[in-house]
């Protein structure tokens, strides 16, 4: 069976996902596009094999010829479309963040729990990245003993002027928040934010770089450098330090260039280049879950936890104090609470 997918939000990643779901992923075709900017919707529809343009996201969700929904609008509009999709019983893939406040995420969680089955997958694509998956496999296989520390860097070459001081946390490091919970199989208990010397490349309304210090429930310490004006490329790093060794995220570039006086690999230009394979795998897994009738991947609960960490991080940024992450109890629809280190051993 081929699932007819409708996409709401025809911006940068909406166009990426439309092409993938229409031409690369098996089991899906893009049947509809909606965007508050109709010209953008028409432009993206034109790169598919025949998607129609809908007058609004709500018309698209209600349409009988749309089986499943992808939400790629800006974050503040995610909640209304995800809730509308759940209300019609249609599966929905929502880009990160699930919603911009933890209260909004909980409204989605409550609606999904009331529906009685998982319908939502959140676009935390690093869970599908072969490099991160290999790290997780080695960690779970006990290759480095119990994890003690993690060192992460999330560097973007530049950001638009609309990018403000909250966004290193709630737009950018939100990926690390989810990735660390998933890799370590543990919730984040607390967060602190440190501001080093400011880059002269940052706008006057942006504190950049920022260093975030996360503490997991068992005491693993994770430092995250968020540096969104690094100039030289899109550089994502992760090293896990365990009791008996370390695991380092592999650079997806396979070719090592050696020339006179030089031994180097290329740095990806942006998130499209760095995580292209991860988006392919993530959306194929979503398509497979449509056939299985049960969503997989990052859940609404994971989306809620990530946004709760963002909120604590913004409080820590404003207060410069360590802030504990408060979260509600996990409903049984989302499985067992994350394992403690003792349980993993
Ligand atoms: P964008 O600004 O390029 O596109 C957003 C689109 O949404 C625009 O075309 C806008 O007109 C439309 N839109 C906004 N509000 C709407 C509404 N209420 N109804 C209908 N259309 C509406 O943004 P983008 O970079 O494509 O990001 C979109 C989402 O994807 C964001 O949540 C962002 O965080 C996420 N994102 C994720 C990744 C990733 O690596 N997973 C990368 C980039 C963006
Ligand atoms: C963007 O929205 C993403 O999700 C990218 O993966 C991230 O690197 C970038 O900083 C965000 O703005």
Nearest ligand (C-alpha, residue 127): 1
Distance CA 176, CA 160 (A): 21
Distance CA 52, CA 61 (A): 13
Nearest ligand (C-alpha, residue 279): 1
Nearest atom of ligand 1 to the alpha carbon of 37: 11
**Please, which residues have CB within 8 angstroms of residue 127's CB and are 6 or more apart in sequence?**
133, 178, 179, 182, 282, 297, 298
Nearest ligand (C-alpha, residue 234): 2
**Contact criterion met (CB below 8 Å) for 92 and 119:** yes
**Contact criterion met (CB below 8 Å) for 44 and 15:** yes
Distance CA 286, CA 279 (A): 10
Looking at the chain, the whole-number percentage of residues with pLDDT higher than 90 is: 95
Per-residue pLDDT, 186: 97
Distance CA 133, CA 122 (A): 17
Ligand 1 near 273 CB (within 6 A): no
Per-residue pLDDT, 342: 47
Ligand 1 near 37 CB (within 6 A): yes
**Ligand 1 mean position to 142 CA, how many Å?**
39
Ligand 1 near 74 CB (within 6 A): yes
Ligand 1 near 79 CB (within 6 A): no
Nearest ligand (C-alpha, residue 155): 2
Mutate to test the pocket of ligand 1, among 74, 97, 268 (most ligand atoms within 8 A of CB): 74
pTM score above 0.95: yes
Nearest atom of ligand 1 to the alpha carbon of 73: 7
Residue range 15-41, pLDDT digits in tens: 999 999 999 999 999 999 999 999 999
Per-residue pLDDT, 344: 45
Determine which residue's CA is closest to atom 3 belonging to ligand 2: 172
Query: Residue 4 pairs with which residues in a beta bridge?
Result: 29
Residue range 161-176, pLDDT digits in tens: 999 999 999 999 999 9
**Encoded tokens for 25:** 């992923």
Nearest atom of ligand 2 to the alpha carbon of 172: 10
Could you tell me the domains of the chain? 3-126+276-298 (3.40.50.720), 133-269+305-344 (3.30.360.10)
pLDDT category, 181, cuts 50, 70, 90? very high
Query: Residue 241 pairs with which residues in a beta bridge?
Result: 149, 246
Residue range 123-162, pLDDT digits in tens: 999 999 999 999 999 999 999 999 999 999 999 999 999 9
């Amino acid at each position: 069976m081929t699932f007819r997918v409708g996409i709401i939000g025809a911006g940068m990643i909406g166009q990426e996902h439309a092409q993938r779901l229409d031409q690369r992923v098996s089991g899906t075709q893009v049947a509809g596009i909606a965007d508050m900017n109709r010209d953008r919707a028409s432009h993206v529809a034109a790169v598919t094999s025949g998607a129609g343009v809908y007058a609004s996201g709500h018309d698209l969700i209600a349409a009988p010829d749309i089986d499943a929904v992808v939400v790629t609008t800006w974050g503040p509009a995610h909640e209304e479309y995800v809730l509308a999709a759940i209300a019609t019983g249609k599966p929905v893939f929502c880009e990160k963040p699930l919603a911009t406040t933890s209260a909004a995420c909980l409204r989605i969680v409550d609606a999904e729990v009331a529906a009685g089955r998982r319908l939502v997958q959140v676009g935390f694509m690093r869970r599908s990245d072969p490099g991160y998956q290999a790290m997780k496999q080695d960690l779970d296989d006990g290759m480095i003993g119990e994890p003690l520390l993690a060192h992460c860097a999330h560097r973007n070459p530049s950001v638009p002027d609309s990018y403000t001081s909250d966004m290193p946390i709630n737009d950018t490091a939100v990926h690390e928040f989810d990735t660390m919970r998933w890799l370590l199989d543990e919730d984040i208990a607390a967060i602190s934010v440190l501001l080093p010397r400011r880059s002269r490349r940052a706008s006057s309304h942006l504190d950049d770089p920022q260093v975030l210090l996360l503490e997991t429930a068992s005491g693993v310490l994770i430092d995250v450098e968020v540096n969104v004006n690094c100039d030289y490329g899109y550089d994502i790093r992760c090293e896990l330090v365990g009791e008996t060794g370390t695991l380092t995220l592999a650079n997806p570039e396979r070719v090592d260039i050696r020339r006179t006086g030089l031994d180097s690999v290329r740095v990806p230009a942006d998130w499209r280049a760095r995580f292209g394979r991860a988006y392919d795998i993530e959306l194929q897994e979503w398509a497979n879950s449509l056939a299985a009738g049960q969503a997989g991947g990052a859940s609404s609960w994971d989306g809620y936890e990530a946004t709760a960490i963002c909120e604590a991080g913004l409080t820590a940024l404003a207060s410069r104090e360590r802030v504990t992450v408060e979260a509600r109890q996990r409903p049984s629809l989302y499985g067992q609470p994350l394992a403690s280190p003792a349980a993993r051993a």
